[in-house]
Amino acid sequence: MAKIKRNKNGTRKDVIISKAAKLFREKGYNATSMRDLAEHVGVEAASLYNHISSKSEILQEICFKVANEFTSHIEEVYASSTNSIEKIEAILRFHIRQMVDNYEEVYVNDREWKHLSDPYLSNIQNQRRSYRQRIAQIIEEGIRKDEIKSIDAPTAVLIMLHAVSGIESWHRSKRKIPGALLEDNMIMILVDGLRR
């Protein structure tokens, strides 16, 4: 009966998407029904369609918002005039901060993108692939310049990216260490594993 309360500077659609991100993260995209979502928003399921056009549009908005931020950040880092280790560190720190501050949406992007359908599916797959390739490129450059130990670059990428997504368990743990400390610990372990 009552209207959805907007947050300051946000549309009602934003409210729906942010509640959806929380539910998608907790239960997964497929296990979250529109009636579930509606209840958490405080409205009937049909009413959601005054603000969005489909369930999958919600997933699309979440995934592309996150993916675009990551893509534009990595291009910035790649173009910067720093050495390979510094670049890797910058990328890692950005990842960790995003995962700490923007948990729900980043996590959903990471785990639920499979449930997109074409053309969005192939689009996000391409975006993810070229993201990994950029990192691999930086690592290979570092190996050539003897800044990074001689390892298989795709393997290093895989470790980095998945290690970061483990921040999920940090969020779920009772007694969290502060975010900044988490960041430093992760950097220490991961970067020291790479450094020559």
- Considering CB distances under 5 to 8 angstroms, the limit depending on partner class, which of DNA, a second copy, none binds residue 180? none
- Considering CB distances under 5 to 8 angstroms, the limit depending on partner class, which of DNA, a second copy, none binds residue 117? none
Comparison of 78 and 170: residue with beta carbon closer to a second copy: 170
Stretch that binds DNA, among 2-10, 94-102, 115-123, 168-176 (CB under 7 A): 2-10
44 contributes a contact to DNA by CB under 7 A = yes
Please say whether the beta carbons of 67 and 112 come within 8 A: no
The answer for residues whose C-beta is within 8 angstroms of residue 114's C-beta and 6 or more apart is: 121
Q: How far is the CB of 18 from DNA (least distance, A)?
A: 15
Q: Tokens representing 114?
A: 């499979």
173 contributes a contact to a second copy by CB under 8 A = yes
Please say whether the beta carbons of 87 and 193 come within 8 A: no
Q: Tokens representing 81?
A: 């005039």
Q: How far is the CB of 50 from DNA (least distance, A)?
A: 4
In angstroms, rounded to a whole number, what is the distance separating the alpha carbons of residues 140 and 120?
Answer: 30
Please say whether the beta carbons of 116 and 59 come within 8 A: yes
Comparison of 29 and 131: residue with beta carbon closer to DNA: 29
The string of DSSP letters for 143-192 reads HHTTSB-S--HHHHHHHHHHHHHTHHHHHHSSSPPPHHHHHHHHHHHHHH
Q: How far is the CB of 63 from a second copy (least distance, A)?
A: 16
Q: Which residues bind a second copy (CB under 8 A)?
A: 27-28, 30-31, 111, 114-115, 132, 149, 151-152, 154-156, 158-159, 161-167, 169-170, 173, 177, 181-182, 185-186, 188-194
